[in-house]
Amino acid sequence: MEHSNYPSIKAALPRLLSLLDRNPSSPSYGCFDKDYWHFKTKDFASSAEQMSVLTLALLYKNKFNDNEFFENPVCLQWIKAGIRFLGNIQHEDGSFDEWYPNERGWAGPTSYIVYCLSETFHLLKDDLAADKNVLRDILYSASLHLSRRDESDVLANHIAITLAALASIQNIFADQIFTDAYEKFRGYFLDHTLDEGWSLEYDGLDVGYNLASISFLSRIPWINTDRTLCDYIKKSFGFLKFFCFPGGAFGGNLGSRHTLHFYPFATKFWAAHNEDALLMENWRLNNIDSDNHVETQDQDDHYIHYRMWEYLQADLIVSDAKACSIQMPYEQAPFSYDLPQSGISIQKTEKHYLVMNRLRGGSFRLFDCQAKKELLSDSGYLVKVKNKVFTSLHSGLSQVRGFLKSHSQFTETKNPYFTPFKNIAFRGLMMTIGANHYSAYLLKRMIRKLLIVGDKPVAIELNRSLEFKDNHLLIKDELKKSKSIKVDQAWGWGEFEPRYVPQSRYYRMNSSRLTACEIESHFINELNENDVVQIERSLEL
């Protein structure tokens, strides 16, 4: 089954190019961060948005159907301007900023930028003239920064894009330091993969970023001869197919970063070599127009720069169309399947498909396979105690209690906001202490802990069990708390996303129907009076 991603790319191009400063007399000519150069709502330009240089390079060099940018000299000038602007905002240590001044990011954004620029170099080295040397200087300095890892948390997709970047630049610079760095990070990546076919994202499995990891690894030139990585990718496809749902939904609240986005380069690249990859690619193409599928045009302005080149590179892969001899799990005969490392329980009945993550607060998704409709997406509970909100949706403090059974402890959610005073103080801190590379690294660790990890537990617990019985799904929840806690409000029975993840929270057309609601007051009263409440729901199927 052959299908082009280019129509959706073309539809999004006016939006992408509207983000680019195309005025050659402007000091910010070539900048893709419109909040900086046009709206003036930011005091620095995000380097990550310069990744669209690769998108333009792919359009310039490839004759996609009805592509006005093919060998277009104006397009080439925009590419050169984008490269020069990126060189102007690069730090002396080779790093770049994405979210705040003096961030000096490692994989995000520097690895992404190195990969995009090195691929641009390979595509346009005969077209760039004097800018070729500018590009080489940017790449060499940035690649040296990559060889010094400075992230304390484990995000496998960051290691994977770093491997892709280091592999790509080895065709530009014959420097042993980059070869050694590649081997070091390859070992680090494999150390954080699990036998089920997934890799760690903070404190557990994340479906979207797991597919991102194998998509990035698939760009390594010698990937087909690397048996260890190939074996992992094969297992990963066999794992990820369970999260391709009826009607085009993918991933979601079952993962540690609740991502929904799909990376087509991986499935397109491996479709001719791996039947699970072919199965997922065919599923993607069959659902490409689904309201549940997050596509290029659905991305935020910041993340559209991350995704356009992914889809264009996937389009350049030539693969023979062929039928697949296996079915999606939700199309198969009834079965039960348990994946203990990830905590995933899967129950397929004659008509329904249920996937539960017991190590993420018992979150689950339920689908009607015949109608290809999501019936319920349940993330557990949010409870408000005084001025703080706690959630059962946490990967680090949940336990497996059996098939379709889980126990989780509530942790505090994080939702800080800037005030004018906080913003001034933060900027002052980053412009002074953050000017030092090591200090910037320590500050970044503190920021991640504040926003994402290091959740504080509270003495509230959830025991959950699910069971199919007499054409119903029975959901049995037991909420328990200590006597010293008084719950003011609670929400549940639907979908929510409490963890801060930039590339997430995309609206799907059925999101309003699946969103969590406020729990009835009599349940809250019983919980406060008895320190325990039983909540049983029965969903007719």
Judgement on whether residues 424 and 439 belong to the same structural domain of the protein: yes
pLDDT of residue 508: 80
Per-residue pLDDT band for 452 (boundaries 50, 70, 90) equals: low
* Tokens standing for residue 244: 């391709």
Query: In whole angstroms, what is the distance from residue 229 CA to residue 519 CA?
Result: 46
In a domain, 240, yes or no: yes
Over range 347-370, report the average pLDDT. 96
pLDDT of residue 48: 97
In a domain, 366, yes or no: yes
Per-residue pLDDT band for 451 (boundaries 50, 70, 90) equals: low
Judgement on whether residues 200 and 344 belong to the same structural domain of the protein: no
Task: Judge contact between 78 and 99, C-beta under 8 A.
Answer: no
Distances in Å between the Cα of 445 and the Cα atoms of 58, 75, 439, 454 are: 35, 39, 10, 11
In a domain, 320, yes or no: no
The pLDDT tens digits for 49-93 are 999 999 999 999 999 988 999 999 999 999 999 999 999 999 999
Given a cut of 90, is residue 425 above it in pLDDT?
no
Distances in Å between the Cα of 518 and the Cα atoms of 5, 109, 276, 456, 511 are: 40, 38, 40, 23, 16
* Tokens standing for residue 475: 């959901």
Range of the domain at 479: 333-414+454-540
In a domain, 351, yes or no: yes
Q: How many domains does the chain have?
A: 3
Judgement on whether residues 103 and 21 belong to the same structural domain of the protein: yes
Query: In whole angstroms, what is the distance from residue 94 CA to residue 81 CA?
Result: 19
Over range 480-494, report the average pLDDT. 96
Three-state SS at 356: strand
Per-residue pLDDT band for 113 (boundaries 50, 70, 90) equals: very high
What is the residue whose two structure tokens read 């070869």? 179
Among residues 402, 424, 532, the alpha carbon closest in space to that of 478 is found at: 532
Q: Which residues lie closer than 8 Å to 33 by C-beta, 6 or more apart?
A: 19, 42, 45, 46, 49
Judgement on whether residues 461 and 424 belong to the same structural domain of the protein: no
Judgement on whether residues 183 and 310 belong to the same structural domain of the protein: yes
List, as one string, the DSSP characters of 194-233. ETTTEE-BTTB--HHHHHHHHHHHTTSTTGGG-HHHHHHH
Over range 441-461, report the average pLDDT. 75
Query: In whole angstroms, what is the distance from residue 450 CA to residue 262 CA?
Result: 28
Given a cut of 90, is residue 290 above it in pLDDT?
no
Query: In whole angstroms, what is the distance from residue 120 CA to residue 61 CA?
Result: 10
Full-model pTM: 0.94
In a domain, 1, yes or no: no
Per-residue pLDDT band for 185 (boundaries 50, 70, 90) equals: very high
Q: What is the mean pLDDT of the chain?
A: 92
Over range 383-399, report the average pLDDT. 85
Judgement on whether residues 233 and 354 belong to the same structural domain of the protein: no
List, as one string, the DSSP characters of 26-81. STTTT---HHHHTS---SS--GGGGGHHHHHHHHHHS--TT-TTTT-HHHHHHHHH
Judgement on whether residues 429 and 403 belong to the same structural domain of the protein: no
Over range 186-214, report the average pLDDT. 94
Given a cut of 90, is residue 6 above it in pLDDT?
no
Judgement on whether residues 269 and 339 belong to the same structural domain of the protein: no
In a domain, 322, yes or no: no
Per-residue pLDDT band for 179 (boundaries 50, 70, 90) equals: very high
Query: In whole angstroms, what is the distance from residue 219 CA to residue 182 CA?
Result: 14
Judgement on whether residues 298 and 425 belong to the same structural domain of the protein: no
Judgement on whether residues 302 and 363 belong to the same structural domain of the protein: no
**173-176, long-range: CB < 8 A, 24+ apart:** 173/139, 173/140, 173/143
Judgement on whether residues 237 and 355 belong to the same structural domain of the protein: no
CATH number for the domain spanning 90: value is 1.50.10.10
In a domain, 321, yes or no: no
For residue 110, give the DSSP letter. I
In a domain, 326, yes or no: no
Report the share of the chain in percent with pLDDT over 90: 74
Among residues 41, 70, 24, the alpha carbon closest in space to that of 312 is found at: 70
Over range 486-510, report the average pLDDT. 88
Report the share of the chain in percent with pLDDT over 70: 96
Per-residue pLDDT band for 1 (boundaries 50, 70, 90) equals: very low
The pLDDT tens digits for 220-233 are 999 989 999 999 99
Exposure string over 51-74, b if 16+ CB within 10 A, otherwise e: bbbbbbbbbbbbebeebebeeeee
Task: Judge contact between 427 and 434, C-beta under 8 A.
Answer: no
pLDDT of residue 3: 61
Judgement on whether residues 246 and 383 belong to the same structural domain of the protein: no
Over range 418-436, report the average pLDDT. 83
Over range 148-170, report the average pLDDT. 89
Query: What is the number of helices (H) and of strands (E) in the chain?
Result: 17, 16
